[in-house]
Amino acid sequence: MIIQETRDLAACHALRRTVFIDEQGVPEADEMDDQDAAAIHLLARDGGRPVGSARLLIKGDLGKIGRVCVLADQRGTGLGAALIRAALDVLRARGVAQARLGSQTHAIGFYEKLGFVAEGPVYHDAGIPHRDMALNLQVTS
């Protein structure tokens, strides 16, 4: 399994279409937005086959991790956690102080195991309940 930054938006979009639009019923207009051009994209490949992706948006010292998706046959393998760790490494390397994301409520425990803390109320995004989560990336001694 290899996770790398990519400019292969077609592969990322295909994964997002499969997971978010086809499986979860997210409207295409909500999933495919205008932020991809400014984002850093991570792509996980297994033997050359795209199997997962994530998108990073950086504004100042804040990094937002989003559009995290893993194909159904790869779930439970640790790939999702590896994608998040890779995203955090990219953010740290760029001097980002805090990582944030909007977690689907069923995945809050997954992100908590990676150090994220849930904040604020539950809200709906594309009809799916979410909650904001944050992780401080600054090293304190």
pLDDT computed for residue 1 by the predictor: 87
Phi first, then psi: what are they for 69, rounded to 5°? -145, 145
pLDDT at 129 over 90: yes
Q: What is the pLDDT of residue 140?
A: 59
d(CA 124, CA 140): 34
pLDDT value of position 139? 65
| Residues 16, 22: Cα–Cα separation, whole Å | 9
What is the average pLDDT across 126-131? 93
User: For 2-99, which CATH class?
Assistant: alpha beta
Distances from the Cα of 17 to the Cα of 77, 79, 81, 100, 105, angstroms:
21, 18, 21, 23, 20
Write down the pTM of the prediction.
Answer: 0.93
Confidence of residue 85 (pLDDT cuts 50, 70, 90): very high
Question: What are 50-74's pLDDT values in tens digits?
Answer: 999 999 999 999 999 999 999 999 9
* Alpha helices in the chain, H assignment, sequence order: 9-16, 28-31, 79-93, 108-113
